[in-house]
Amino acid sequence: MAPRKRKQGQKQTHSNITNGHAHSNGNGNNNNNNNNNNSNNKDSKDSNGNTHSHRDNNNQTPHDEFTGEVKEALEKLTNALPKNSKVEVRHPTLSRNPSVANYLRQSLFVNDVEVHDHKKHIPARTRRRVVLLLGIIIGMGLATVLMRQSKDAAYMEAFSHYFQDFDLASMVPSGMIPDEFIGNVSAMFRPEILTEEEFYPGEELREELGYKPKYPVTMIPGIVSTGLESWSTTNNSCSQKYFRKRMWGTTTMFKAVLLDKDCWISNLRLDPKTGLDPEGVRLRAAQGLEAADYFNLAAIGYDNNNMYLASYDWRLSFVNLENRDNYFSRLKSNLELSLKMTGEKTVLVAHSMGSNVMFYFFKWVESDKGGKGGPNWVNDHVHAFVNIAGPMLGVPKTLAAVLSGEVRDTAQLGVVSAYVLEKFFSRRERADLFRSWGGLSSMIPKGGNRIWGTIKGAPDDGTHDEEETVIKEKIAKSEETPGATTKKRYGEQSPTFGAMLAFAEGSNMKNHGMDESMGLLSKMAGDDFNAMLAKNYTVGASVTQKQMDKSTKDPASWTNPLEATLPNAPKMKIYCLYGVGKSTERSYTYNRVSDLVPQIFDQRPGNVSDETGQVPNIYIDTSVHDDKLGISYGVHQGDGDGTVPLMSTGYMCVDGWKKKLYNPAGVKVITREFIHRSSLSPVDIRGGKQTADHVDILGNYQVTKDLLTIVAGRDGDGLEEQIYSKIKEYSAKVDL
């Protein structure tokens, strides 16, 4: 009985054994028919006259030796069967693991020549990527073993977030895995049980102080906590194979970048003119509570009836969030429904970029140009706004990202995501990608030279955590590119932070303050980016009532608290909770490609030439660093939470919103700072209970306790101002 021929393009998933002898139909033909003239094969006829080929067992190939036991078992099985019988042998994992299937087919039924030819088709670049991938897997596996033996096993949840869809077999090209011993290793990165630490201090507050839900809670996450998943189904789109896969923050991102880079870029990059999805691509924010750290809220009685996660596509400008997803309309409806069902106003809990989104929402919902809720809507629907590590005045590293594609030490993107972007994309590719994300530009520093200083000085000059900087530099030295040297160009005095871009000697470029840096960005970024920025955002500051009356009505100002007022909500409270005492990117030393090497310039239409007649190719100069001055390989370190500098998290909270110009309704603002203290445990991947790191602050014990106190209606019990930094001193120097 002849074996069936598979359809063209169909993968081989099983092999046939007829009358005790193996036949491979890997290319639709019996292998024995291709080797009738081979001297090692002998022909014989059975009683029915059918001809069969027998391989000479005396000339075993390496594959025969390697699979000898398997073949011996097959021979014993087939010898016991009647003549002309047919047995289908199918490995139990073949249907889900094509890599293993391909290996078994090669080991059992393909000759050495075919195997050699197959290996020649695997490019060296792919092999290197696979070696890198396997190295990452082994390292994470060892870390996982240590974590499971530790009392800190509760923090496995954060680690496993990046590996929720991990399947090694589907990530490695066919033929690259020599056996099934790896298989699907996703389970080893997932915590098997939840420990009591996941619900601490929630359970303690519930049992000892009787904490229970009072106000409904709506959480607005930052970039790290918001997954983006593909909904593309277009046949001619490369993204169809990633349907319902998360393209940001999980191993699907690793897989796509390693093996399908162009497709990943086409999914993540937005149309530079419209700021929306390119044709044939649909990437949406993942919905649900999976990404939120809600264990402590659940510990005092919250569930999905009184707790809501308002995730969003952070790539979109805030205008496009409403245009494409009706995001703010949905949020408005949710808060209105919550008030109707519970009779209580909502506590809005925002982290990182989510705080910028909420400030925009306050202005949008009141305005006739937005939600048309009227001047009292926020006052009637919001009990409190908990602003956790919100970059209210922007982040300098956002400027670096859109200016030159630098993502050095970018916790705002997440450790894994930043690593992938830094290692697998050129600066040109990164800059183009970042500039297409209108949402990212919402965090360009605001206030210009008034807030961030001039090349002569800045309000927060001289601040950096020297001890931590030294530790970080010892680690960073092993990661720097060959040839990097240590240079001290500033004597014993730290350079001013006011020079947001301090150009190195020999670059033939002057130092730039924040205002001048925006001018340089305008020259380099092109017409599309400049048009998007002008349409959606402002970065200045209103200093008179006349200026504020005009700017606060402009939707482009609704992300800028220096040009738009707080809502008319005198009964609402704002809690600013943020970390201090951790080295944070504040300004940079830049350089330009030497005139002695070929220049790479951005020549797209709309660029404005500088004095050389060309736009310079600039980059952060990693050869410049000084531990004592807090300069870490071209990055000047100041005080903050590791991602957002103190001037951005603290100024509006302790000073700006105390002024009637920016807070005419007199909304009460309570600022609570938390000193960063790193965990001593090497396996405490979330930083420990006293961390004040920008991302890990969500696991800080005291921050969590403050949050539960607010949502339980106990916020009148001791939640008063708590200041450890010099933010008030710096604020007094701001020129407003």
Residues 685-705 pLDDT 10s: 566 788 999 988 988 989 999
Burial of residue 187, with CB atoms counted within 10 A of its CB: 0-12 exposed, 13-18 middle, 19 or more buried: exposed
In the structure, what pLDDT confidence band is assigned to residue 230 with cuts at 50, 70 and 90?
confident
Lowest pLDDT segment from 243-252, 258-267, 296-305, 539-548:
243-252
Cβ atoms within 10 Å, residue 69: 8
- CB-based contact 319:360 (threshold 8 Å): no
Which pLDDT value is given to residue 140? Answer: 63
Q: How far apart are CA 614 and CA 608, in angstroms?
A: 8
Q: How far apart are CA 21 and CA 544, in angstroms?
A: 91
Cβ atoms within 10 Å, residue 572: 22
Lowest pLDDT segment from 17-26, 121-130, 249-258, 371-380:
17-26
Say how many residues make up the chain. 736
Residues in contact with 717: Cβ distance below 8 Å, sequence separation at least 6, in sequence order: 709
Which pLDDT value is given to residue 110? Answer: 43
Residues in contact with 401: Cβ distance below 8 Å, sequence separation at least 6, in sequence order: 407, 410, 430, 431, 434, 440
pLDDT of 343 above 50: yes
Strand bridging mode 217-220 / 307-309: parallel
Active site residues: 352, 641, 694
Q: How far apart are CA 218 and CA 288, in angstroms?
A: 12
Question: Which token pair is 354?
Answer: 């989510």
| Dihedral sign from CA coordinates of 711, 715, 719, 720 | positive
- CB-based contact 273:320 (threshold 8 Å): no
Q: How far apart are CA 91 and CA 71, in angstroms?
A: 14
For 473-522, how does the pLDDT look when each residue is reduced to its tens digit (9 = 90+)?
Answer: 343 333 333 333 333 444 445 679 999 999 988 888 899 999 999 999 99
In the block, tokens 């000759």 appear at: 111
Q: How far apart are CA 359 and CA 355, in angstroms?
A: 6
In the block, tokens 């990608």 appear at: 433
In the structure, what pLDDT confidence band is assigned to residue 628 with cuts at 50, 70 and 90?
confident
- CB-based contact 168:185 (threshold 8 Å): yes
Q: How far apart are CA 668 and CA 576, in angstroms?
A: 11
Residues in contact with 421: Cβ distance below 8 Å, sequence separation at least 6, in sequence order: 407, 410, 413, 430, 433
Residues in contact with 666: Cβ distance below 8 Å, sequence separation at least 6, in sequence order: 570, 660
**DSSP states along 431-464:** HHHHHH-TTGGGGS--SHHHHH-BTTB-TTTT--
Q: How far apart are CA 354 and CA 342, in angstroms?
A: 24
Q: How far apart are CA 282 and CA 268, in angstroms?
A: 9
Question: Which token pair is 726?
Answer: 């010099």
In the structure, what pLDDT confidence band is assigned to residue 418 with cuts at 50, 70 and 90?
low
In the structure, what pLDDT confidence band is assigned to residue 428 with cuts at 50, 70 and 90?
confident
pTM of model > 0.85: no
Q: How far apart are CA 143 and CA 130, in angstroms?
A: 20
DSSP state, residue 457: B
pLDDT of 75 above 90: no
